[in-house]
């Protein structure tokens, strides 16, 4: 089985971010970058599938500037076998990423595309669904459990109504949710091995035409101070005054 795991370089989710003074973007001065947390969960799950069955090749791919090599090397340290960096300074939207990944999938022919459900920087939650549609693959989003069967995957996915269990024939696409697993700590031997694992650099294969783009960044307004009430009656009166009911 071959598993392709797309990953994205994002600002550390625990960092405090602020917009640039002109609203054109985020001020990244002094900020730390990490693998998108949901993508790291996807890498961990791919490694666990290999540990259970043994015959799994894991390829990680990232689209972006040369700095993405740091995150790809971390993915290799976690347990991926090979990395591909599609190196570009071009700005992408979700559809552009899906098109570029679709081209790569056509070349690599993985049995499973396993990726995070969304990125913590833009929170779009679109690339997985768009990619599956372009490939014509069956898909299971928001996966909280994955089991490998003979020629398919059994995926438990989280929905607003509860868990849903799907069996997907291969090839297929799965997006990882938070409760799928907890990524392992990257030990020193893994970091050392990652240095010798192959990392291929290439240029994009699909022209980019932006359908959507950010136009302005601003900080949210400060949260208003709370108010303590002494009784249920007072709470009801305050809510009524604010037009809550």
| pLDDT class of 86 with cuts at 50, 70, 90 | very high
Q: CB of 74 within 8 A of CB of 186?
A: yes
Tens digit of each residue's pLDDT (9 = 90 or more) over 28-48: 999 999 999 999 999 999 999
Residue 11 pLDDT: 95
Six-digit token string for 45? 């799950």
Asked whether the predicted pLDDT for residue 223 surpasses 90, the reply is: no
Q: What is the CATH number of domain 2-241?
A: 3.40.50.620
pLDDT over 90 (residue 243): no
Instruction: Report domain extents, the chain.
Output: 2-241
pLDDT in tens, 89-138: 999 999 999 999 999 999 999 999 999 999 999 999 999 999 999 999 99
Cα dist from 54 to 43, 74, 169, 191, 210, whole Å: 15, 21, 20, 21, 41
Tokens matching residue 136: 């014509």
Report the DSSP pairing between strands 139-148 and 112-116: unpaired
pLDDT (tens digit, 9 = 90+) per residue, 141-194?
Answer: 999 999 999 999 999 999 999 999 999 999 999 999 999 999 999 988 889 989
* pLDDT for res 109: 97
The Cβ-side half-sphere exposure at 208, using a 13 Å CA radius, reads 19
Q: Among 57, 56, 17, which Cα is nearest to 33's?
A: 17
The pLDDT, as a whole number, for residue 181 is: 97
- Reading the block at residue 63, the tokens are 């689209």
pLDDT grade, residue 199 (50/70/90)?
very high
User: Residue 224: what pLDDT?
Assistant: 84
Q: Mapping DSSP to helix (H, G, I), strand (E, B) and coil, where does residue 145 land? A: strand
Query: What pLDDT is recorded for position 189?
Result: 87
């Amino acid at each position: 089985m071959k598993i392709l795991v797309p990953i994205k370089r994002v600002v550390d989710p625990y960092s405090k971010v602020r917009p640039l003074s002109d609203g054109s973007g985020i001020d990244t001065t002094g900020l730390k970058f990490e693998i998108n947390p949901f993508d790291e969960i996807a890498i961990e799950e791919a490694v666990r599938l290999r540990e259970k069955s043994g015959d799994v090749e894991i390829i990680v791919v990232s689209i972006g500037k040369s700095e993405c090599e740091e995150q790809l090397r971390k993915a290799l340290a976690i347990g991926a076998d090979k990395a591909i960096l599609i190196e570009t300074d071009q700005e992408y939207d979700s559809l552009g990423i899906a098109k570029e990944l679709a081209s790569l999938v056509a070349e690599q022919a993985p049995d499973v595309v396993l990726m995070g459900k969304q990125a913590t920087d833009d929170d779009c939650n679109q690339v997985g669904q768009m990619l599956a549609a372009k490939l014509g693959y069956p898909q299971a989003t928001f996966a909280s459990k994955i089991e490998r069967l003979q020629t398919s995957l059994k995926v438990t996915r989280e929905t607003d109504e509860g868990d849903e269990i799907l069996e997907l024939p291969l090839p297929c696409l799965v997006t990882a949710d938070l409760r799928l697993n907890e990524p392992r700590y990257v030990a020193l031997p893994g970091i050392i091995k990652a240095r010798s694992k192959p990392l291929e650099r290439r240029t994009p294969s699909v022209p980019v035409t932006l359908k959507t783009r950010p136009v302005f960044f601003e900080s949210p307004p400060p949260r208003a101070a709370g108010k303590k009430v002494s009784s249920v009656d007072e709470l009801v009166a305050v809510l009524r005054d604010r037009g809550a009911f």
